[in-house]
Amino acid sequence: MVSEPDREKLKQLAWDAAFDVLLLDLDASSDIDQQVQFFEDISAAPVAVVVLTDDAARPSAIELVQRGAHGYCRKPPALRELKATIRRAAEYTAMKRKLEGKPAQSLTELEPVEPLRCDGLIGSSAEMVNVYDLIRRVANLNASVLITGESGTGKELIARAIHNLGDRSKSPFIAVSCGAIPETLIESELFGHEKGAFTGTTGTRTGYFEQAANGTLFIDEIGELSPQTQVKLLRVLQEREFVRLGSNRSIPLKARVIFATHRDLLSMVSEGTFRLDLYYRINVMTIKAPALADHPEDIPLLADFFVNLYSEQYNKTVSGIAPNAMTLLQRHHWPGNVRELENVIQSAIICADKEIIQPRDLGDRFQETAILDETNCLQIGTFESLLNDFKLKLAMKAIEDCGGNKTLAAKSLCISRAYLHRLIRVVDEPEAIDAA
């Protein structure tokens, strides 16, 4: 615990811009309210605050991020993750001071890393930083890129980032999903056709390869292509030219082609359903979009982004997420990844009748998780005793999720602070119960 004189000295140094980044150790075993108050005292100072937190104090760390802290790292932090977070925080401070005309401290002792966001992608975890690095490495290359990952992880966003950050950014970006096009039409959609090429054609069609021109063609779900179409695609990539159906004229392939799939293409190669030569042709560079469960520390950033997006879209005044609701979001496995998180937040915005999203706004599956977490296992007893026990457990869990802050806990439960104190009186005053 830092002494009062030292805290005052740190506050003054922060306001004097004597350093770029402040590491705030949020320890559940100490006075969290005091630490939160210290953050509030320097939150407007020209420094970036990075919070170090253990699991018990994580809800309070999330709250501080929502209130302006640059980010947080779990203790003990991975050196790479901590270094990346500090670097991004320092870059943020340098930019802010530059805009305000103030000098920034030297950053030469830290290796450069990528920023908090990368052209629409959001996340500060080591997994996302690695994705940002690969995007920038391949952005100006004409090599084929294969983006892998589960559904809902943002594979198209990665492809768009590659396009937007490269020298083709002013040319078209065309996205096509092979799984959404009937097999009988896929060749016509990709390569185009001439009038009368097959029954039902009434005119000439320009295919996606041609529409992309000098830009980027993003072919999603490449694993859904039939063996026949795979052969034709392989030839196009090898010869760098294609032919419309019903025509003999070759058209040069000028676009860069990026591929994506959620399937295991090597397993498909072993099963004989995907060509090995095509696999090597499209897989010059691989970028894996991480599953959301692999970087849960990015959930607060993503959730906050979606809250702002859909609050404005639906003309609601929702501005944040309660700490206990955020805890439920971080505990969820997210089989649908970022797309599922977006759907949950969108629904919560619609359901919310207050400015802060509560656990009850997240949907039934989160309610079941919350009840199981709060009650654990109910003991046998009268209805009244079971009900009182349940209320007590809910109150204690809310206080824990809010880092010991009873005012925030009462707000998260939509009850008064006085009622909260009555609920936990049995814990705060055990001697009174014993005397009775």
Quote the CA–CA distance of 83 and 60 in Å, as a whole number: 22
Topology, domain 294-358: Helicase, Ruva Protein; domain 3 (1.10.8)
**Dihedral, 402, 405, 407, 412 alpha carbons, nearest 10:** 10
Topology, domain 4-100: Rossmann fold (3.40.50)
Q: Which residue has the tokens 């096509």?
A: 176
Quote the CA–CA distance of 401 and 379 in Å, as a whole number: 23
> What's the pLDDT tens digit per position in 364-381?
777 655 554 544 444 445
Give the pLDDT band (50/70/90) at residue 222. Answer: very high
Give the residue with greater pLDDT, 44 vs 198. 44
Quote the CA–CA distance of 102 and 45 in Å, as a whole number: 12
Closest among 330, 265, 342, 264 to 299, alpha carbons compared: 330
**What CATH number is given for 126-288 in this structure?**
3.40.50.300
**CA distance readout (Å), 380 to 171, 345, 386, 423, 433:** 69, 37, 8, 20, 20
% of the chain residues with pLDDT over 70: 83
Phi, psi torsion values for 288, nearest 5 degrees? -95, 125
pTM given for the model: 0.62
Phi-psi sector, 67: left (phi>0), alpha (psi -120 to 50), beta: alpha
> What's the pLDDT tens digit per position in 66-97?
677 777 787 777 777 777 778 777 776 776 66
Quote the CA–CA distance of 399 and 405 in Å, as a whole number: 6
Are 270 and 108 in contact by the 8 Å Cβ rule? The answer is: no
b or e along 361-378 (b: 16 or more beta carbons within 10 Å of the residue's beta carbon)?
A: bbeeebeeebeeebeeee
> What's the pLDDT tens digit per position in 145-182?
999 999 999 999 999 999 999 999 999 999 999 988 88
Longest CA–CA span in the chain (Å) reads: 98
